[in-house]
């Protein structure tokens, strides 16, 4: 036996033991982490078990195999998307942590594969795929195929996730990769909503017939049953139907995909071991004003606007907040049209979500805020700082609100309510900006040291996060009661509802100006406390 073989086994055992140590350290780190890990695992396993039991109850019903195919498809999409969301928070999914060690790609691949099969994620996938197998099986041949198909599918799902992470490791660890994670999160949320719409169509049709009708899934399953790794789950149904050649071909498709993914994974590991990371190379670029700087006001207000907009585009957490607000407004608008409850007043959600981008202005700056704080010596400078940030938020919030409002009015052919809807939206937007300015001064909270867009606050800041979140939402709702009352009175009395547009514009501008006026002197008096909070990590 070659001396390298025992060493390879040691490497594999070491990597597996490292994964076990990571799991044990997560439980021992602090009580909160222990509770979160245990509660998350229990809830995940509980949900998976209930889903598997629900699928098992479909055994023998028409369309049960199609339901199993759709569940396997959802699992494949989820596991492929996991690296986008968990890459920055799961140490075991980052292959760059091991590529600098003097290890050969083969042992590193085997050890990482075995370590990847340890944890609640693969167990949840195994439970779900077992439920899908029970639903799709129709005899002894199906049971025999499931013994091979279920583990093959689970391993393929895990390898799919790890190969995607390894193939895009350097991209995902970069700033642009984190930006892509934000956009991927929004896309994933939209896919979830599409799945929700599909499930509602199934249940609506079932309710009309008095029984569960899975026939809407058939055209989708007819295509997806040949897509690996979903094909190995549908092989269970094929074997039960007596189509042994089809079942064998479906298992072979998943096995072939597994081989290709392992080769891709190994190649990615080897490439990371022998090539330098391009993000570490220093390049010299010209420094100057941006192309849009000429459109901004002169003086401190224009400089603050440019800095805030640059943060919103380049800083992952700031970009995540902005795109989440826009994405939520867009998702609600699209769902309102698709599901039949559309109204042009849905655009008001954009006013709420985008107005609250003013919350925690200085905590988002982090340790860089000390440079800003050193220039704040007068009330006029503090006011200009807040006005510049408010105008930066308005520079993208107003166009987004206008586009969504016009789109909803066109989709519903309800142009008469466009003006009052925009009036309410601008009132909510101005109220959120004014309230956000006050809360940013009175209740700032620190952001985590890393730039992971999925983390919104540093440890120990949960209370302040809740105060900002719920306080701002409740405050915006209460402050806009007068505007809502005016709109309601005009609608009841059949008055000219278009006047809500100028009223909302004036009301929102007045509340925003009042909030900035109240926050400016307190920004100076509380500057040391805000600075300490901003640099706390």
Residues whose CB falls within 8 Å of the CB of residue 80, separated by 6 or more in sequence, listed in order: 160, 161, 164
Stretch among 47-56, 66-75, 244-253, 308-317 having the lowest mean pLDDT = 308-317
pLDDT at 142: 93
Q: How many CB atoms lie within 10 A of CB 522?
A: 15
CA distance 185 to 339: 22
- Joined together, the tokens standing for residue 26 give 């997560």
Of residues 9 and 89, the one with the higher pLDDT is 9
Tens of pLDDT along 205-232? 555 555 667 777 888 888 899 999 999 9
Question: What is the pLDDT, as a whole number, of residue 486?
Answer: 87
Q: Is the pLDDT of residue 281 over 70?
A: no
Tell me which residue has tokens 């200085």. Answer: 362
For residue 176, CA distances in Å to 77, 180, 183 come to 22, 6, 11
Say what the pLDDT of residue 493 is: 78
Least confident of 109-123, 150-164, 421-435, 507-521: 109-123
Mean pLDDT for 344-366 is 87
pTM value is 0.61
> Residue 318 has which token pair?
């700031």
Average pLDDT over residues 441-462: 61
pLDDT at residue 287 in the model = 45
Report pLDDT for 284: 45
Average of pLDDT values for 290-307?
A: 79
Region of 536 (left: φ > 0; alpha: ψ -120 to 50; beta: rest) is beta
Cα–Cα distance for residue pair 437/357, rounded to 1 Å: 10
Identify the DSSP state of 446. P
Lowest-pLDDT range, 157-171, 176-190, 210-224, 333-347?
Answer: 176-190
pLDDT surpassing 60 at residue 74: yes
424-443 pLDDT, tens digit each: 999 999 999 999 999 888 88
Of residues 175 and 487, the one with the higher pLDDT is 487
Burial of 180 (0-12, 13-18, 19+ CB in 10 A): middle
Q: Which of 98-102, 356-360, 528-532 has the lowest mean pLDDT?
A: 98-102
> CA 366, CA 381: separation in Å to the nearest integer?
20
Mean pLDDT of the chain: 81
Any idea which residue has 């042009």 for tokens? 344
């Amino acid at each position: 036996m070659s001396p390298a073989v025992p060493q390879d086994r040691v490497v594999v055992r070491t990597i597996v033991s490292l994964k076990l140590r990571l799991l044990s350290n997560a439980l021992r780190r602090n009580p909160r982490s222990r509770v979160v890990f245990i509660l998350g695992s229990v809830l995940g396993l509980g949900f998976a078990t209930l889903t598997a039991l629900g699928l098992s109850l479909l055994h023998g019903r028409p369309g049960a195999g199609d339901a199993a195919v759709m569940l396997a498809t959802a699992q494949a999409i989820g596991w492929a998307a996991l690296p986008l969301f968990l890459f920055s928070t799961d140490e075991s999914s980052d292959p760059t942590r091991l590529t600098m060690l003097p290890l050969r790609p083969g042992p590193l691949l085997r050890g990482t594969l075995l370590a990847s099969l340890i944890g609640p994620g693969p167990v949840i996938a195994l439970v779900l795929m077992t439920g899908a197998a029970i639903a799709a099986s129709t005899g002894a041949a199906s049971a025999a195929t499931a013994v091979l198909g279920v583990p093959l599918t689970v391993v393929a799902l895990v390898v799919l996730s790890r190969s995607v992470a390894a193939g895009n490791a350097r991209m995902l660890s970069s700033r642009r990769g984190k930006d892509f994670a934000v956009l991927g999160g929004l896309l994933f949320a939209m896919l979830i909503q599409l799945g929700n719409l599909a499930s509602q169509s199934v249940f609506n049709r079932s309710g009309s017939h008095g029984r569960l009708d899975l026939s809407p899934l058939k055209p989708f399953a007819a295509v997806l049953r040949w897509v690996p790794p979903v094909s190995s789950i549908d092989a269970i149904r094929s074997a039960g139907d007596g189509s042994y050649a089809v079942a064998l071909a479906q298992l072979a498709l998943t096995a072939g995909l597994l081989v290709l993914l392992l080769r891709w994974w190994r190649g990615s590991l080897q490439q990371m071991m022998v090539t330098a990371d391009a993000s570490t190379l220093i390049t010299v670029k010209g420094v100057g004003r941006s192309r849009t700087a000429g459109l901004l006001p002169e003086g401190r207000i224009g400089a603050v606007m440019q800095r805030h907009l640059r943060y919103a585009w380049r800083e992952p957490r700031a970009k995540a907040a902005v795109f989440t607000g826009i994405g939520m407004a867009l998702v609600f608008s699209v769902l309102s049209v698709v599901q039949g409850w559309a109204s042009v007043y849905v655009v008001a959600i954009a006013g709420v979500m985008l107005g609250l981008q003013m919350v925690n202005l200085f905590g988002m700056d982090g340790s860089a805020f000390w440079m800003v704080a050193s220039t704040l010596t007068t009330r006029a400078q503090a006011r200009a700082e807040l006005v510049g940030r408010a105008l930066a938020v308005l520079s993208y919030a107003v166009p987004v609100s206008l586009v969504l409002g016009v789109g909803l009015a066109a989709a519903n052919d309800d142009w008469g309510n466009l003006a009052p809807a925009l009036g309410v939206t601008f009132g909510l937007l101005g109220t959120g900006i004014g309230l956000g300015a006050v809360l940013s001064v009175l209740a700032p909270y620190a952001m985590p040291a890393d730039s992971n867009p999925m983390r919104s606050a540093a440890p120990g800041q949960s209370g302040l996060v809740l105060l900002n979140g719920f306080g701002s939402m409740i405050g915006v709702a209460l402050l806009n009661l007068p505007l809502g009352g005016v709109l309601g009175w005009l609608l009841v009395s059949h008055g000219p509802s278009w006047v809500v547009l100028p009223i909302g514009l004036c009301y929102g501008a007045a509340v925003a100006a009042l909030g900035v006026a109240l926050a400016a002197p307190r920004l100076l008096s509380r500057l040391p406390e805000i600075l300490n909070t901003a640099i706390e990590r």
